[in-house]
Chain A
Amino acid sequence: MFGPVIDELIDALRCLPGVGPKSAQRMALHLLDKDPRAAGRLSTSIQQAVERVGRCQLCRMLTEASVCEICANKGRQPDLLCVLETPADLFAIEQSGSYRGRYFVLFGHLSPIDGIGPEAIGIDQLLQRLSDENIKELILATNLTVEGEATAHYIGSHAQALGVGVSRIAHGVPLGGELEYVDGGTLSHAFTSRTLI
C-alpha cells in the first residue's frame, strides 16, 4: 500500500509478540515520520544484538560474553544451582532478590507430543555440569504445569543418581491470597507440602 520498502518494514514488525497489522503500521509510521533517529538506533542495536548475543557456556542464558555475568560473578554461591524454563523466569527470580546462587536455563520443557526430548533442552549439558562441579543443591524451579513437573522429575531423578541434593520450589497459597478463592488443586498442594513451624 505504501510501497515495497515501507510494506516490508510493517510486515517485519509483525514478528514481535502482540503486534498485529494495525500496531505494526502505527510503529512503522512513527519511526519514519516522527522519530527517524530512534529508528536508526533501533536498527543498529537489533543488528548488534543479533550478531553478538549467544548463549552462556555454563547456564545457556542469553549473553554477549562466553560466560554470562551471573555465572562469572564470584559473589554468587557456587554450590547452588537453580533450573528454570525461560530467561523471563530468571529475570523474575533476580527481581525478587531472594536467591544468590547460579542458574541453568532450559529454554523449554519436556513435551513428547511436541517432539521435545531431554537433549533439546540441554539436560545432558546440565547433568554434565552436575558431575563436573561440586554442586550441593539443585533447585528445580520449572513451572507447575504437567510438562514442568515431568521435566523436574526427570532432572531430579538423574541428579539424585549423581549424588546431588535436589529440591523443588514450594507451591501453594499466594501472598495475600484468601483460601476461599484458591482453587482446589493449589489448596491440595499447599496441604501436602505444609511445613512445621
Chain B
Amino acid sequence: MNTENEKAYVLHTRQYRESSQLVDLFSRDFGRLRTVAKGARGKRKSGGHQLQAFTPLLLSWRGKGELKNLTAVEASGNNAALHGEMLYIGLYLNELLVRLLPEHVAHESLFDRYSDLIAQLSMSSDPEPLLRRFELSLLEEIGYGLDMATELATDRPIEAGEHYYFTHDQGFIRFDAVSNQCKEGCFAGEHLLAIAADDYCSLAVRRCAKRLLRSALQAQLGERPLLSRQLFHQAKVPVNKAQDD
C-alpha cells in the first residue's frame, strides 16, 4: 500500500542500524504509526534531517506490514521551532500521544488540534490553557472524555457551590457532607463549570484543571510515570534558585 504526501508530524525517532531511523509518526489520515527511514542519518540528500518533531511534514511511505518504509520527506508550511520551556511542553505532548494513541486509528480532529497547538506554542507566553484544552480533547478522542456538566450516576447537573469527587469509571460524584467522606481531593463545582466553559482566567480554575487532568490521564497511562513531566519540573529548579538568590 502506497501513501503519498500525507500530512504528519514526527513524534519520536530512534537510531536503527547503521544509518537508519525508526520514526514514530502522527499522521492525519492514518493516525499513529511507525516507519523506518532508511539511510536517513548522515546523508542530507535523503531529506532525513527534516525528520524532526514539531515540524509539519508531508510524508510518503509504502509497505504491507506493521512497519512502513518512508520514501519521501517534504517540509510543509512554516517551521514553528519550539524553544526553551515550550520544547519540554512539546516533548510532553509527544510522550502523551505515543503512550495513549492506539496505532493505525485516524484522529483527524485531534491531529488538527495538535497542529494548531504546536503553531500556538511557538508564539504563546501562556501555554497552560492551550495544554489543558488539548489534554481534554485527547481524552475525548480515545474514548475517556470528561463530562463536566452532569453527574454520570444521578444525571443531576453539576452546580456551583457544591463539591465533587472524580472517579475514573463513574465521573463526578457530589460530595455528601452527611457521610464520612473526606472533603480533601474534591473539585469545586464552579471550577468544573469554568473548565467546561473553557474559561481559564482564574488561578484556582487552572489548578483544578491541572489536578483533574493529571488524575484522568494517569488512569489511562497506568503505573509508568511520564518522564517528560518529571523533566519539566527538574528543568525549572535553577529559575527558582535564581529568584531566591
A residues apposed to B, CB below 8 Å: 17-18, 110-118, 145-146, 149-150, 153-154, 157-158, 160-162, 183-185, 188-189
Q: Tell me whether B234 and A118 are in contact (CB under 8 A).
A: yes
B67-79 interface bits toward A, Cβ cutoff 8 Å, 1 = contact, 0 = none: 0000000010001
B113-138 interface bits toward A, Cβ cutoff 8 Å, 1 = contact, 0 = none: 00000000000000000000000000
CB-CB contacts below 8 Å: B188-245 with A: 226-228, 230-231, 234-235, 237-239, 241-242
Among A17, A145, A157, the one with the most B-chain Cβ atoms within 10 Å of its Cβ is: A157
A112–B224 CA distance with the chains assembled, in angstroms: 12
A154–B236 CA distance with the chains assembled, in angstroms: 9
Q: Which residue of chain B has the shortest Cβ distance to A159 in the bound complex? A: B238
- Given A17-B18, A150-B91; 18 other pairs, CB 8 A cutoff: A112-B92, A112-B95, A112-B226, A117-B230, A145-B52, A146-B53, A153-B83, A153-B235, A154-B231, A157-B235, A161-B237, A161-B242, A184-B79, A185-B55, A185-B81, A188-B79, A188-B81, A189-B81
Q: Tell me whether B87 and A113 are in contact (CB under 8 A).
A: no
A189–B239 CA distance with the chains assembled, in angstroms: 26
B165 at the interface (CB under 8 A from A): no
Query: What bracket does the count of chain B residues touching chain A fall in?
Result: 35 or more
Q: Tell me whether B18 and A112 are in contact (CB under 8 A).
A: no
B64 at the interface (CB under 8 A from A): no
B17 at the interface (CB under 8 A from A): yes
B12 at the interface (CB under 8 A from A): yes
A154 surroundings in chain B (CB, below 8 A):
231, 234-235
B187 at the interface (CB under 8 A from A): no
Q: List 7 A-B contacts (CB under 8 A).
A: A17-B17, A112-B227, A112-B228, A112-B230, A114-B14, A150-B231, A189-B81
The 3 tightest CB contacts between A and B, nearest first, are A161-B238, A112-B228, A112-B227
CB distance from A8 to the nearest CB of B (A): 22
Q: Which residue of chain A has the shortest Cβ distance to B19 in the bound complex? A: A18
B46 at the interface (CB under 8 A from A): no
Among A17, A112, A115, the one with the most B-chain Cβ atoms within 10 Å of its Cβ is: A112
Question: Contacts A17-B18, A112-B226 known; A183 to B87 CB distance under 8 Å?
Answer: no
CB distance from B117 to the nearest CB of A (A): 16
Question: Contacts A117-B230, A118-B231, A145-B52 known; A112 to B91 CB distance under 8 Å?
Answer: yes
Q: Tell me whether B98 and A113 are in contact (CB under 8 A).
A: yes
B79 surroundings in chain A (CB, below 8 A):
184-185, 188
A187–B94 CA distance with the chains assembled, in angstroms: 26
A115–B82 CA distance with the chains assembled, in angstroms: 21
Of A117, A183, A184, the contact of B231 (CB 8 Å cutoff): A117
B75 surroundings in chain A (CB, below 8 A):
183-185
A110–B98 CA distance with the chains assembled, in angstroms: 17
A188 surroundings in chain B (CB, below 8 A):
79, 81
CB distance from B16 to the nearest CB of A (A): 11
Among A110, A150, A158, the one with the most B-chain Cβ atoms within 10 Å of its Cβ is: A150
A118–B91 CA distance with the chains assembled, in angstroms: 15
CB distance from B208 to the nearest CB of A (A): 26
Q: Tell me whether B94 and A113 are in contact (CB under 8 A).
A: yes
Q: Tell me whether A146 and B54 are in contact (CB under 8 A).
A: yes
Of B18, B88, B95, B230, the contact of A113 (CB 8 Å cutoff): B95
CB distance from B11 to the nearest CB of A (A): 8
CB distance from B148 to the nearest CB of A (A): 29
Q: Tell me whether A158 and B81 are in contact (CB under 8 A).
A: no
B52 surroundings in chain A (CB, below 8 A):
145-146, 185
